[in-house]
């Protein structure tokens, strides 16, 4: 067990662990006791009633299923009462009715916004302020609801994100997109969801080769055989400093191994195996079942924090990775929904991962000095996945709170916003925001279909596993609901997650499953047992911030750093393991073999900063200069060592055989000093990368050379390190441009290489 796993237990500002249940703090117990009459859900932040939500002096009320009025206004804005009434016809879509006017109106609001999100070309618009089709946005939206609601638009949108070469497009991400970001694999899960909903074999045959090609390339470019984990940026959390320490360069972000992204790849490989089974490709199915199992096992081995009861955010660093003990909400939810966690761990994750009064934040604790967007924010689509995870494990308290956390902002804002500030519950103050946000509205709809009614699509049937919290008990109906060639009218009565009786057209329905062969209109009636599941808690905490990340320097054989506001202890790491913890601001480092040192600041609540940028000590590195291989006279760039450097691109230096004279046998870290001025750090798609092999052609790893700034050809940095065993004496490694190294841009896959750095590591 690493020190990070142990210290995660110190996320104790309100986190009181009791077996697999979370004990609420005393003030939250008081909130529950003081709930007003008629309230469905209540906290110090807001109160939810059947027909309204009240937050401070503001409220939103549903006067009918098609009328909402809200007097909410952001602080400093002029007070005004706004209203919503439908302006689009959605009668052809599934209709929902319940005993809760607010829930009915918000369903109809989401239904209208779903229709408004379809562009004239038949693709989804990501949000009112976000034009175009974005891979991850449409994929998560399709999984939540749009495969069910608008399958043809979902198909058209997914196909828009396939490159001419037949690979899934990674359209955004740090350092020039793929492979610094690798969460494009969620496209595969969305494509499979469409097949489960429609049973369209032509669709399956069309998407299968796209998924297969993409995952095979990912296996070469991003899968780490040493850990079993997948490299690449956290899924959807792609604004560098919003969820990563500022010292991390794009190459470091590629090197990170993130919970959400790994859960996505585990499920994508599972999906590919199931696609292959359907199409009779037994060998492919077995290969990707094994790949999925390896990733799931690695997540549980490397990221599970036993004392905390949930998974760590990611592994990060350079030669010696450490685990960030922050909770990452989407990844935690996906670990439950995609069967990464076994039943016990799944229950623990939902009960123990931190939530704040307005919902589950993207990460916890928050990062100081970073404005709200992914940091210090709640995203409704993430909250929806959290709700579905709560439903899966039978956590009634978490599901109830999640429903309230979805209904509150949609009602007050009269639209499904992109995100809001975790500490205030207001959309004002976020860096970017949008109304009519596709994945937010899809999450609201998905809570009806997949949450309350518990719909689970399989290859040959639709299974019902409903879960209605006792606070939302009553009668609800879903009519005009399409399932393949059938149209269902569904009545759901009572509360709980156990079915007492289920009938189809008045006859008992075996397995609570509608067969895919059903045709025409049918009536489904589900009566729940009116028995709440065994109690499980919610880990409600104050919205706190960790200490800032120390900035550490090495001088005269000592590490030095300035005092961090609020920090009481500083933990020093050597090669990822703790070697000292005190209030001192210096630490003497040992001379000798190579080592990496980092410092973590810890406050009085046990909340930890990110680890500081690794500082390497030890013998001088061996440098293999590259200027002799190809003159760089045509380039007027500065800052390189020696007499020049070389260019690598699809047209130049596709294969470089590099000699290394190792002074002794052992493990070495190999990385390249490089420049890439083809784009900014945060957008575009011109990340350069290459495959590294030994002299016999065996794969050693991927060398990623991300963008470092527009025109920044004198801005030199290092690629990710690749650990390679070398023999004493002459070795040869080969840097090669292969078909799998085609980036998302295609023609521009270019970088300048100064030298290969070779360091012996213990």
As given in the structure block, the two tokens for residue 240 are: 């560098």
From edge to edge, which strands make up the β-sheet containing 699-705?
A: 655-662, 729-736, 688-694, 699-705
| Cβ neighbours, 10 Å, residue 194 | 24
Is the pLDDT reported for residue 17 higher than 60? no
Is the Cβ–Cβ distance between 322 and 256 less than 8 Å?
Answer: no
Is the pLDDT reported for residue 25 higher than 60? no
* CA of residue 276 relative to chain centroid, distance: 26
Strand partners, 359: 356
Report the DSSP pairing between strands 539-540 and 354-355: parallel
Buried b / exposed e over 430-441, threshold 16 CB at 10 Å, is beebbbbbbbbb
Averaged over 493-509, what is the pLDDT? 98
Please report where in the chains the tokens 């590629």 appear, as a residue: 254
pLDDT of residue 635: 55
Share of the chain above pLDDT 90, in %: 90
Please report where in the chains the tokens 């919503």 appear, as a residue: 84
The tens digit of pLDDT for each residue in 247-287 reads 999 999 999 999 999 999 999 999 999 999 999 999 999 99
Phi-psi region of 429 (alpha: psi -120 to 50; beta: other; left: phi over 0): left
What is the 3-state secondary structure of 4-44?
HHHHHHHCCCCCCEECCEECCCHHHHHHHHCCCCCCCEECC
Is the pLDDT reported for residue 16 higher than 60? no
Averaged over 21-49, what is the pLDDT? 70
The tens digit of pLDDT for each residue in 450-464 reads 999 999 999 999 999
The rounded distance, in Å, linking the Cα atoms of 114 and 106 is 12
What pTM was computed for the model?
A: 0.95
The tens digit of pLDDT for each residue in 319-340 reads 999 999 999 999 999 999 999 9
Burial of 342 (C-beta count, 10 Å sphere; 0-12/13-18/19+): exposed
**Fold equal for 546-617 and 622-761:** no
What mean pLDDT, rounded, does the chain reach? 94
The rounded distance, in Å, linking the Cα atoms of 598 and 549 is 10
Helices 438-446, 380-393: crossing angle, 10 deg rounding: 20
Residue 541's alpha-carbon distances to 18, 312, 318, in angstroms, are: 15, 17, 32
Helices and strands per DSSP (H, E), number in the chain: 16, 47
pLDDT: which is higher, 7 or 670: 670
Q: Name the strand (E) or helix (H) holding 329.
A: helix 329-337
The yes/no answer on whether domain 546-617 falls in CATH 2.60.40.10 is yes
The rounded distance, in Å, linking the Cα atoms of 661 and 756 is 12
Q: How confident is the model at residue 33 (pLDDT cuts 50, 70, 90)?
A: low
Residue partners of 269: CB distance under 8 A and separation at least 6? 215, 288, 289, 291, 292, 295
Helix (H, G, I), strand (E, B) or coil at 692: strand
Is the pLDDT reported for residue 183 higher than 80? yes
Strand partners, 571: 581, 600
The tens digit of pLDDT for each residue in 205-226 reads 999 999 999 999 999 999 999 9
The rounded distance, in Å, linking the Cα atoms of 613 and 431 is 26
Residue partners of 260: CB distance under 8 A and separation at least 6? 183, 234, 235, 236, 237, 328, 330, 331, 334
Could you tell me which of 319, 322, 321, 226 has the C-alpha nearest to residue 594? 319
Q: Select the CATH number that applies to the domain covering 3-462 from these four: 2.40.40.20, 1.50.10.10, 3.60.15.10, 1.20.1250.20.
A: 1.50.10.10
Could you tell me which of 276, 93, 275, 303 has the C-alpha nearest to residue 196? 275
Q: Where are the domains of the chain?
A: 3-462, 546-617, 622-761
pLDDT of residue 748: 97
Strand partners, 354: 539
Q: Name the strand (E) or helix (H) holding 600.
A: strand 595-603
Burial of 90 (C-beta count, 10 Å sphere; 0-12/13-18/19+): middle
Dihedral angle over CA of 446, 458, 193, 151, nearest 10: -80
Could you tell me which of 694, 640, 696, 698 has the C-alpha nearest to residue 672? 640
Is the pLDDT reported for residue 24 higher than 50? no
Is the pLDDT reported for residue 727 higher than 90? yes
The yes/no answer on whether domain 622-761 falls in CATH 2.60.120.260 is yes
């Amino acid at each position: 067990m690493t020190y990070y796993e142990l210290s995660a237990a110190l996320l104790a500002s309100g986190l009181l662990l009791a077996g697999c249940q979370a004990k609420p703090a005393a003030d939250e117990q008081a909130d529950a006791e003081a709930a007003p009459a008629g309230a469905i859900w209540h906290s110090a932040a807001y109160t939810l009633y059947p027909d309204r939500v009240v937050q401070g002096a503001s409220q939103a009320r549903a006067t009918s299923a098609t009328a909402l009025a809200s007097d909410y206004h952001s602080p400093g804005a002029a007070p005004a009462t706004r209203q919503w009434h439908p302006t689009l016809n959605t009668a052809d879509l599934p209709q929902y009715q319940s005993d809760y006017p607010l829930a009915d109106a918000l369903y109809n609001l989401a239904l209208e916004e779903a229709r408004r999100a379809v562009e004239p070309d038949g693709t989804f618009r990501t949000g009112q302020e976000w034009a175009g089709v974005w891979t991850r946005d449409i994929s998560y939206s399709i999984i939540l609801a749009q495969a069910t609601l608008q399958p043809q638009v979902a198909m058209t949108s997914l196909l828009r994100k396939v490159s001419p070469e037949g690979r899934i497009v990674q359209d955004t991400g740090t350092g020039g997109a793929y492979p610094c970001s690798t969460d494009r694999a969620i496209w595969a899960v969305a494509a499979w969801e469409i097949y489960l909903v429609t049973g369209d074999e032509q669709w399956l045959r069309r998407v299968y080769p796209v998924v297969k090609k993409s995952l095979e390339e990912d296996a070469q470019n991003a899968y780490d055989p040493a850990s079993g984990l997948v490299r690449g940026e956290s899924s959807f959390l792609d604004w560098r400093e919003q969820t990563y320490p500022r010292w991390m360069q794009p190459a470091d972000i590629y090197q990170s191994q993130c919970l959400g992204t790994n859960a996505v790849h585990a499920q994508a490989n599972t999906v590919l195996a199931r696609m292959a089974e359907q199409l009779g490709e037994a060998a492919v199915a077995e290969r990707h079942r094994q790949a999925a199992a390896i990733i799931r096992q690695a997540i549980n081995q490397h990221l599970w924090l036993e004392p905390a009861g949930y998974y760590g955010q990611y592994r990060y660093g350079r030669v010696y990775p450490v685990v960030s003990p922050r909770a990452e909400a989407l990844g935690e939810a996906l670990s439950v929904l995609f069967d990464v966690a076994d039943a016990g761990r799944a229950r623990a994750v939902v009960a123990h991962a931190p939530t704040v009064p307005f919902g589950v934040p993207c990460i916890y604790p928050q990062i100081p000095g970073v404005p709200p967007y992914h940091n210090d924010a709640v995203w409704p689509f993430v909250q929806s996945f959290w709700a579905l995870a709560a439903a899966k494990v039978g956590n009634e308290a978490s599901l109830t709170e999640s429903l309230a956390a979805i209904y509150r902002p949609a009602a007050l804002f009269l639209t499904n916003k992109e995100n809001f500030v975790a500490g205030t519950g207001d959309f004002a103050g976020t860096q970017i925001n949008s109304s009519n946000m596709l994945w937010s509205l899809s999450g609201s709809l998905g809570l009806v279909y997949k949450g309350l009614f518990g719909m689970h699509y399989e290859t040959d049937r639709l299974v019902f596993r409903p879960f209605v919290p006792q606070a939302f008990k009553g009668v609800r109906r879903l009519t005009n609901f399409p399932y393949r060639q059938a149209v269902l009218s569904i009545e759901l009565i009572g509360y709980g997650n156990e079915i007492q009786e289920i009938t189809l057209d008045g006859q008992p329905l075996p397995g609570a499953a509608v067969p895919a062969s059903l045709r025409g209109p049918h009536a489904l009636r589900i009566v729940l047992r009116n028995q709440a599941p065994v109690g499980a808690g919610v880990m409600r905490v104050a919205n706190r911030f960790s200490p800032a990340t120390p900035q550490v320097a090495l001088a005269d054989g000592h590490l030095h750093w300035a005092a961090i506001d609020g920090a009481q202890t500083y933990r020093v790491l050597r090669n990822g393991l703790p070697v000292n913890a005190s209030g001192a601001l210096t630490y003497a480092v040992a001379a000798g073999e190579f080592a990496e040192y980092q410092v973590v600041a810890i406050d009085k609540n046990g909340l930890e900063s990110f680890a500081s940028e690794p500082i390497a000590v030890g013998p001088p590195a061996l440098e293999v200069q590259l200027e002799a291989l190809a003159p760089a006279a045509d380039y007027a760039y500065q800052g390189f060592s020696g007499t020049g450097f070389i260019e690598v691109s699809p047209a130049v230096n596709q294969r470089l055989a590099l000699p290394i004279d190792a002074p002794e046998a052992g493990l070495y870290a190999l990385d390249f000093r490089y420049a890439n001025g083809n784009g900014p750090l945060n957008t575009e798609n011109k990340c350069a990368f290459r495959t590294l092999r030994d002299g016999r052609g065996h794969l050693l790893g991927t060398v990623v050379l991300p963008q470092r700034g527009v025109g920044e050809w004198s801005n030199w940095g290092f690629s990710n390190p690749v650990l390679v065993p070398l023999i004493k004496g002459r070795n040869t490694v080969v840097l090669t441009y292969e078909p799998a190294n085609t980036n998302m841009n295609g023609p521009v896959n270019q970088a300048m290489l100064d030298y290969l750095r070779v360091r012996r590591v213990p």
